[in-house]
Structure 1
Amino acid sequence: MSGATEEVATGAEVVDLLVAMCKAALQSSRKSIIFEPYPSVVDPCNPKTLAFNPKKKSYDRLQKALDSVLLIRRMSQGPYSEIKKQMDKTDPLAHPLLQWILASNRSHIVKLPLNRQLKFMHTPHQFLLISSPPSKEARFQTARKLHGSTFAFHGSHIENWHSILRNGLINASYTKLQEQPGQARFLQNRNLNCIALCEVITSKDLQKHGNIWVCPISDHVCTRFLFVYENGQVGDVHINTQEARIHREISQVIALKQC
Structure 2
Amino acid sequence: MSLRIVVCVKYVPDATGDRRFADDTTTDRDAVDGLLSELDEYGVEQALRIAEASGDAEVTVLTVGGDDARDAIKKALSMGADKGVHVNDDAVHGSDVVATSAVVAKAVEKAGFDLVVCGMASTDGTMGVLPALLAERLGVPQVTLLSEVAVAGGVVTGRRDGDAASELVEASLPAVVSVTDQSGEARYPSFKGIMAAKKKPVAEWDLDDLGLEAGQVGLANAWTAVSSVTERAARTKGTIVTDEGEGGKALAGFLAEQKFI
- TM-score range (shorter-chain normalised) is under 0.3
| TM-score of the superposed pair, with normalisation by structure 2 | 0.26
- Specify the structure having the higher radius of gyration (Cα): 2
Q: Which has the higher helix share?
A: 1
| TM-score of the superposed pair, with normalisation by structure 1 | 0.26
- Ranked by relative contact order (alpha carbons within 8 Å, sequence separation 6 or more), the top structure is 2
